[in-house]
Structure 1
Amino acid sequence: MLFFLLCLYISLYYIRPFEWMPGLYGSPIFMVLGVVSIVALLMAWGSGKIKLFRYKTDVMMVGFVIAIVLSHLSHGYIGGAIDGVRDFLPSIVGYFLVAHALDSEKKVNGFVFLLTGLTIFLAYQAWLQSVHGVSWGGMEPLIQYQNAEEGRVGLLRVRWFGPFNDPNDFGLALVLPVPFLVNLLVNRKYLLALCLPPLIYALYLTNSRGAVLALLASVFTYLVLRFRSVKGVAVGLVLATALMVFGPSRMAQISAEEESAYGRVEAWHAGFQMFKSNPIFGVGKGMFTDYHYLTAHNSYMLVLAELGFVGSFFFLGLFFYPLRWGKRNLFRETESLEAERRRRFVAACLAGGVGLLAAIFFLSRSYILLPFMVCALMMASIYGRGGGLIGCSREEVAERFSWGSVGGMVVAQIVGINIIVRLML
């Protein structure tokens, strides 16, 4: 039941027929499905079929929601607290469905197959926009004008409805299945790997530097974890160079002197001032642009400014545990070919997470579903029922919270961003 709800929920989140299909336009089916999913999760928890909060990330997710609420209640703004949780609800539901519905290797593989199919759908919409100027539902690409020697040049950037209306978010969605497809390609399973070319082409059409960065980071990380040698680093560097050379035209414009880059640093400085004025709970979710005309263009800075130290603690804590496990275990020697096959799959999960975490350093994507969905997928693969895909021990699942380590990461983030801002302003 939960797996069916998960597949339906994620499919609606990606395809979004209620935003463009005449018969469903404006209907609350996604909201209703979210409520049904919450009830189903609570019933499964009550009957003992799942164990909510068995993962450290479950606790971190709840803490992050509480931080959203407190960011407004600390200023006496009850309506803001309600709106903040309501807007974040798709990420809450999506996280818990992925984390607890994927309780077997078959379901994990099926979910990745579904994600691949959904991103191929998005890639097809990108192709339609590039060829015909419009895709299903009347969605047109974003035309971003740039200055050139001979006048203004319009840059086509494909997109989709809802959370994918921004080409950067559209590009991040396209990147998610890439490490899994590269894993199939490296393992000489070519059929499903044929999905790679259309995804890469659609990613090119987004002209998103953040998405290309996510692609670079995820593929590089996968190759390092896969080969666990200098070979993986070398191949990753070659691919990274090729993507930088042949990637979207906007990649060539990255520099500290670029106007948009300077605007980002200014936004980071403004965010740091917000944090200094409200260091514990922040200025409130969604309030950054009330204090500065641009958003943070950095998800970590956005959380720090809007949710304070408390919100940053839980946000970083969500990704701390699966990444620490990866560092601890993926470089160990395997005992069988089957164990190695599963470990490669987990390496692809972790690579997808690293890619997303790298990209959101330059994008304000602190509350969308994609990062939390990848976090949940990593946890389900690593720590799932029966020890996950690679037999994680009960001791590792039950290990104590590393409050000090996560808190140290927040402090390091604050110091690091402050140094970057001081150097670049």
Structure 2
Amino acid sequence: MIPYGRQDIQQQDIDAVMAVLKSDFLTQGPVVPRFERGVAEKVGARHALAVNSATSALHIACLALGLGDGDWLWTSPITFVASANCGLYCGARVDFVDIDPQTYNLCPVALERKLVQAEREGRLPKVVVAVHLCGQPCDMQAIHALAEQYGFRIIEDASHAIGGEYRGEYIGNGRYSDVTVFSFHPVKIITTAEGGMALTNDDALAQRMYLLRSHGVTRDASLMTQEPDGPWYYQQVELGFNYRMTELQAALGVSQLERLDEYVATRNALAARYDDLLADLPLTTPWQHPESYSGRHLYVIRLDLDGGLVSHRQAFETLRSQGIGVNLHYIPVHLQPYYRQMGFAEGDFPKAEAYYREAISLPLFPTMSEEQQDTVVAALKQAMGRA
């Protein structure tokens, strides 16, 4: 089986984790802060807070931004469910904005149209989660301009996008958002096994997220509401969570971070090779905005089904039967049973639903060989009746 994604673990990664196993700290030691500093310095952010998953990072980001009962969070329907669920965790209501059919990201034109209507109805969003699908950034300049006009806060869900760039700067620098979130799941661009990170340039947001990720407990006297009893004293000042990242995970992240640019360059080279190999097939290859440099977490094609040679499902199942671990990113969130119970239905976001009917994620990972890529393409041609 050629998987759609795969981590690359090298000896330096193993050595880094082994060093932590032999150290005094397996958690709450010096390596997590080292990883945070490394990522913050790499992307140009003031603060970085490592947590146990990108979902946790989204949750504490929403809480830090004050999202709560009666508020609205808007996001793209083409994303993993966590991008929407983080709003529900806070007691907010969730809605979606249809995608740009070229980038598959949240469409700024659709967003503006929806904001105009929402303002009339008195239900403007408090938070918009802009998802950089497959690693390609959203049009953040346009979304930021709308945020200034309509007063919402922005979280960049950059789970797919570390190492990518927008307008010549690393994604995560916070120029156009309040918080950026990265994921370090094994199929992502770099991994900590499980893990995530929230980045911000706002000191107050960083301090609140710092508390929320570790039970709301602090030993900082300046944050306490009463005088410490002694040097042992700590105080719970928030209702927080145990979202901490371990030293073992951070050690792996520190080591992987050294190869970030290499990984992204390799992914882009493989994607460019796919573009060439697939040029004559009845499908759409991923379009890339000239002002962005994608992390290329995923390589998603869209089948041209008008010819009737093959169905979407037939192509998918044929590829799987030949050992090609294709996947589909993603089922539109609003069509999930949990969200249908809230009143969402087919037809609500037609561009996202059209994407879902045609999309297939082909294998793409930094250790992928040209031979493996040729095998994928040959299998795809056979599945489409073009062998």
Same structural fold, with TM-score higher than 0.5 when normalized by the shorter chain: no
Relative contact order: is structure 1 or structure 2 higher (C-alpha 8 Å, sep ≥ 6)?
Answer: 2
Q: Give TM-score, length-normalised by structure 1.
A: 0.27
Q: Give TM-score, length-normalised by structure 2.
A: 0.29
Q: Which has the higher helix share?
A: 1
